[in-house]
Structure 1
Amino acid sequence: MPQMMPLNWMMLFLYFLLIFYLFNINLYFNNNIKKKDIPSKEYKFKLNWKW
């Protein structure tokens, strides 16, 4: 049982990191749209490239 604990903590940590990363990407794109008027084609291309 003790050997399983680090793995579980690692998975939890990675899971939260992933959520945080995706949330930051979303905020980044929203801020970019508000700051500059990006053409829809360019925005879609960037979004596809990021994801």
Structure 2
Amino acid sequence: MPQMMPLNWIMLFVYFLFMFYLFIIMNYFISSPENNFFLTSTKKINKFSWTW
């Protein structure tokens, strides 16, 4: 089905975007509130991209 191919790519992109936002929200809830959220989240995301 060549007509369904762009829809599959869009759904895959939306799925990865949703997982990325879920990862950021999970970092926000795991990290303590007194820490700076932006610095801790960027550090964890960089470590996460290193493991990939």
TM above 0.5: yes
Percentage of identical aligned residues: 12
Q: Which has the higher contact order (CA 8 A, sep 6+)?
A: 2
Consecutive unaligned residues in structure 2, runs of 5 or more: 36-42
Q: Considering only CA atoms, is the larger Rg found in Structure 1 or Structure 2?
A: 1
TM-score (norm 1): 0.61
Count of equivalent residues: 44
**Structure 1 residue ranges, 4+ long, deviating more than 4 angstroms after superposition:** none
Structure 1 residue ranges without an equivalent (≥5): 38-43
Of 24, 27, 32, 2:25 maps to: 27
Instruction: Please report the TM-score for the alignment, with normalisation by the length of structure 2.
Output: 0.60
Which whole-Å CA distance do the structure 2 matches of 1:20 and 1:14 have between them?
Answer: 10
